Amino acid sequence: MSAPLPELLAPAPAGRGLAVRRPRTGGLGARARALRIWLPAGFLILLAAACFLWPLVYPVPKPVGGSILAAGLPPLSPGHIFGTDPVGNDIFSRILYGGQVSFEVGFGTTAIGLVAGGLLGMAAGYWGGLGDAVIMRVLDVLIAFPSLVLALAIAEGLGPSELHVIWALSFFSVPAFGRIARGATLALRGQTFMLAARLCGSSGRRVILRHVIPNITPQLMTFSLLGVGVAIILEGALSFLGLGIPLPEASWGSMIAQGQQTLSAQPDLVLIPSAFLFATVVSLNLLGDALRERWASPTGPSR
């Protein structure tokens, strides 16, 4: 005979209820987020270490001055894993030394833009007024001007060299960082903790160092990774046009420019540096997106 309805509806005694298993998704989600950061970061660290440290600890052929007797060797040839170019230079060695130049240009350009643009943007956003108007109009003019055309003009005027390429590309990175820093600072300026800090008599310098910089750093660092990738691509474009890294010095862009002259006979001269350039830029973009999601805090800015 079935039990009365009140007994069926009564709660089960403690210890006699059925245990309900809940899926454990937190650990998997955390591991997936960690992999999204560490996979591209690990690739970039390994690639940078290979470019800068491999020639120091393991003997590799010089990137220039190869023997004409070994010219045009295909990939996987004995002693030349990536083959040689039409004048006998080892492609693997040029990839390593060209990676040094590409990383130096990318991070050097981004560092100048981060420091100069970040300081200008913070000053404009925090103090406002006439200084804000002047700074932003100058940055607007630089942004409105085509960046590649401006870089071409500067590189043509200064002459092809790695340092000149960095300075030329910095002109377009400064306004981008400046606008991001200003927007982030304006969003913070009306926050309660910022008003409280000013009411307590804190100087502008102290407020910027203690409250503004820690809160806008995640946005600037995320954009910095994207900026490194853009700078590497633009350096490749300048080298492709003959205004970047001067020959015979190697860079991934100059290798692509040289390889297109013999593309039909040796397509690997273009494909190999293009693959390294592509993988580096994609890894920087993936790392930037993963860090942006990681640093996005639903609780608001830190105090």
Share of the chain above pLDDT 90, in %: 17
Q: With 50 as the cut, is the pLDDT of residue 280 above it? A: yes
How many angstroms separate the first and last alpha carbons of the chain?
A: 66
pLDDT value of position 9: 42
> For residue 168, which phi and psi values (nearest 5 degrees)?
-65, -45
The answer to whether 220 and 142 have CB atoms below 8 angstroms apart is: no
Chain CA centroid to CA 51, Å: 17
Average pLDDT estimate for 4-33: 53
- 117, with CB counted inside 10 A (0-12, 13-18, 19+), is buried
* pLDDT at position 158 over 80: no
- According to the model, what pLDDT value does residue 8 have? 42
Q: How confident is the model at residue 18 (pLDDT cuts 50, 70, 90)?
A: very low
Confidence of residue 20 (pLDDT cuts 50, 70, 90): very low
Q: How far is it, in rounded angstroms, from Cα 149 to Cα 211? A: 38
Q: Is the pLDDT of residue 2 over 60?
A: no
Structure confidence at residue 190 as a pLDDT band (50, 70, 90): confident
Q: Residue 297: pLDDT above 60?
A: no
Report how far residue 288's alpha carbon sits from residue 292's, in angstroms, rounded to the nearest whole number: 6
Residue 28 pLDDT class (50, 70, 90 cuts): low
pTM above 0.95, yes or no: no
Taking the C-alpha atoms of residue 60 and residue 102, their distance in angstroms, rounded to an integer, is: 19
pLDDT for res 247: 72
Is it the case that residue 19 has pLDDT exceeding 60? Answer: no
pLDDT band at 48 (very low <50, low <70, confident <90, very high): very high
From the list 74, 70, 100, the residue with the least C-alpha distance to 87 is 70
Mean pLDDT (the chain) is 80
Q: With a cut of 70, say whether residue 49 has pLDDT above it.
A: yes
**Rg, Å, the chain Cα set:** 27
- Burial (0-12, 13-18, 19+ Cβ within 10 Å), 26: exposed
What pLDDT digit, counting tens, does each position of 255-267 carry? Answer: 888 887 777 778 8
Residue whose token pair is 């390889």? 259
Q: Please report the pLDDT score of residue 15 as a whole number.
A: 46
C-alpha to C-alpha distance for 175 and 291, rounded to whole angstroms:
22
Answer yes or no: is pLDDT of 10 > 80: no
Of 56 and 18, the one with more pLDDT: 56
- pLDDT tens figures, 194-241: 778 777 777 767 787 777 888 888 888 888 988 898 888 888 788 777
- pLDDT, position 283: 92
Residues 68-114 have pLDDT tens digits of 777 778 888 888 888 888 888 888 989 999 999 889 999 999 999 99
Distance CA 266, CA 264 (A): 6
Residue 175 CA to residue 121 CA, distance in Å, equals 9
